Amino acid sequence: MTGSGFSAPAIAFSGSVIDRADAVRGDPEKLAALTNWRARLLRLDGLVPVIAADGGLEWGTLADADPAAELVFLGLAPDGRACFAAVDPALVGSVAPPNPQLWQVMSLLAPADLAVYGAAKALVDWHARHRFCARCGHGTELRKGGWQRTCTNPACKAEHFPRVDPVTIMTVEHDGRLLLGRQPRFPPRSYSALAGFVEPGETVEEAVAREISEEAGLVVRDVRYIASQPWPFPSSLMIACHAVADDDTITIDKTELDDARWFTRDQVVAAMQRRDDATFNAPPPFAIAHHLLVWWLNQ
């Protein structure tokens, strides 16, 4: 932290203390030996974490899982016990509807618990939505402790892996002001960093430049990587960058954005301090956009 008085919180959904124990996943004997009465099962209500009496994640044992549920091996807890999550048969083949309670429940969790939950949620949701082989249409089955699904068609046997979608999210600076935008789905007065998926055939830096061009009509230079964040909705890797524009004439893509504006440093400070006279609402601390604003204010 330099100067501004703002410091960034831990990056939400990062900092898990579970050892992913990659070597266990590929070893059926090791995995079977760990799938025992000592193993811990992360309790989920659909895709929402269950909160324990102590305010942390609620863990049960494998006996608590639906006997028909597939089990995903999350890794080893610091005490050596295996940690699992179950793919609730009720979720299978469905698209989990947005759950307004989810954000409220997640806000109760300590950072390390939120990270464990985020990884589990992304994996369980992927299994629920990937029951069939994209190549041949046959059914697939869980393998390697849930880090793979394999097509059951003997003529195909295609292997499928949990998906992570890289997304660029970026602030743009021009003459001491910062470009932020709002999507139609944002709460009133909320502005945040522009964002978009990285596409096949482009670098992170090219994706940043393309998104800013598409959404705000600006040409940028000096794209700089700042930080990254796993984002389990459904399973993105947010890649946060900062770029510089030589011009400030914005052309908003109204299919993507409600609005986009340049904000002064004082306006960003007021928003980050949640002051009554703030001209907009800043992104909350769990969003990597919040980190981008802290980084910029500390320049």
Residues lying near a second copy in the complex (CB under 8 A): 11, 13-16, 20, 22-23, 26, 93, 95, 115-116, 118-120, 122-123, 126, 129-139, 147, 158, 160-166, 197-206, 210, 214, 225, 227-230, 232, 235, 237, 239, 253, 255
Nearer to a second copy, 117 or 191 (CB): 117
What tokens does 164 get? 């992570």
Q: Between 194 and 268, name the residue whose CB sits nearer to a second copy.
A: 194
Picking from 158, 152, 83, 67, the residue whose alpha carbon sits closest to that of residue 123 is 83
When the beta carbons of 119 and 218 are compared against a second copy, the nearer one is 119
Spell out where 27-157 has E strands.
40-42, 44-45, 48-49, 59-60, 70-76, 82-87, 140-143, 148-151
Q: What are phi and psi of 114, to 5 degrees?
A: -65, -35
> Up-side HSE of residue 28: CA atoms within 13 Å toward CB?
2
Residues 6+ apart with CB under 8 A from 116: 16, 17, 18, 42, 57, 74, 83
Task: Using CA atoms of 115, 120, 123, 125 in order, give the dihedral in degrees to the nearest 10.
Answer: -110
Question: What is the smallest separation between the CB atom of 127 and a second copy, expressed in angstroms?
Answer: 10
Q: Environment class of residue 222 by beta-carbon count within 10 Å: exposed (0-12), middle (13-18) or buried (19+)?
A: exposed
Shortest gap between Cβ of 128 and a second copy (angstroms)? 9
Q: How far is the CB of 62 from a second copy (least distance, A)?
A: 21
We find the least distance from the C-beta atom of residue 211 to a second copy, in angstroms, to be 9
> Closest separation between CB of residue 297 and a second copy, Å?
21
Query: Please, which residue, 56 or 166, has the CB nearer to a second copy?
Result: 166
Question: Which is nearer to a second copy, 127 or 270 (by Cβ)?
Answer: 127
